[in-house]
Structure 1
Amino acid sequence: MDSFLDNLSSYKEVSGTQRDLPEWLTIDLVSSIEFAKRLPDITKFKDSDKEELIRSSCFTIAIAIQAIESYFEKHRTVVMPDGTDVIQAMKKAGTFINSDYTQMFVTILDPLHREQFTIDELVLTLQLLFYTIAPPDNLSVEGKVQLEKSVKASMQCLMVLLITQDKSNFSARYGALTALNETFITVTHIHKLKMKEAEPFRQKLRDLLIEQCVFDYRPTH
């Protein structure tokens, strides 16, 4: 049986050059997992703890990646790499754009544009976000100890960068980046609720994808 990743390229496309939105989210999820697997300290966790961290954090990282990519492309709403404006696509499909969708695809970009964050700031902020989402109770004793160390190390890296950039503006900048992570967490929660409303099985596919990416697993039959 082919794995979920093996079947990724066979997903239906909207047009000759455009992918459908769930596929883009899947691609961003793969990207977020690969990002996480390269974070400092991740190899210090045993496999079960590593899986728990990635399972808990990577969907939020994927949502953040969507927003950050759109920000660097100077879009005011979330736009997929093929140029698909999510809000416009939803309007064309007859979807009513309520406050949830506005948060998911429009206002999530507001703090990025307002604060003009740099790529260095955002990478270190995502690193901190990754290590602060997972509930410590689900980790092994060794994992809990390492998680605490990784959170402190991530905070220190971000602080050093901000102090080096502008010591006088350190507190405000750190606060803005912390608030940005809270925005990503809030918007991710809305995404999860919408996914469950639309397709209850998609959460299971997400978990399967994470498992395969974490362990580079491919079923043979």
Structure 2
Amino acid sequence: MLRSPIATSPKQLPKDANTPTSAFATPTATSARILPTRGASKVSTTTTDEKALCRICLDDSQEHSKLICPCNCKGTVARTHSACLEKWVEVTHNTNCQICGTDYELESYGWKKFRDWSYPRPLSNEWEDVLDFRCCIAWIIYFSRYVYMNAAYGTQETNRQIAEAIGDGVFAKCWWFAFWMNMVYYGSITVLLADQWITENRVYRFRDRRQKK
């Protein structure tokens, strides 16, 4: 059987001192030893002192957005534009770094401009949340009148007028039970709606984890 000339023994292959022994060795190191020119030091300096780039858009400009370090990554993937990261989170719905696993943290930077404020809205587009939103508005109006009557006429006079309207029997007990239950339920809904409205009308930015000098 004829053997292929390629299948030779490793002892028959010529060894060169400048030949990289690993398949992952970069040719840059070999050429640097063969051609030690004056530009070699400049190349290494440029590589080490290279400007920081955004790992999303690969741009170093900070004209429209600031370069920040939102996670614990180091090196060339450490920085990103705040606007690029906001768009990335909005599209991918990932609130943590896919490399180091660090959760992105938000910091509040005040309110939006008044003309940019949005109106309160339901917690979602589901019919239950839409119904809760409308009932919550009606409850706030009703409860505001109850508070006004207590402030203007006093608690005793207000309770007396309510007793004249609903009586003092079983119906009155059911009415007061429903009143306090609605106050607890729609009070919690009001807190959630207020928190959502505040979040939508404030300016948030991702926290820069770089240590300030």
Structure-1-length-normalised TM-score: 0.21
Rg larger in structure = 2
Structure ranking higher in helix proportion: 1
Structure ranking higher in strand proportion: 2
Structure-2-length-normalised TM-score: 0.21
Q: Which has the higher contact order (CA 8 A, sep 6+)?
A: 1
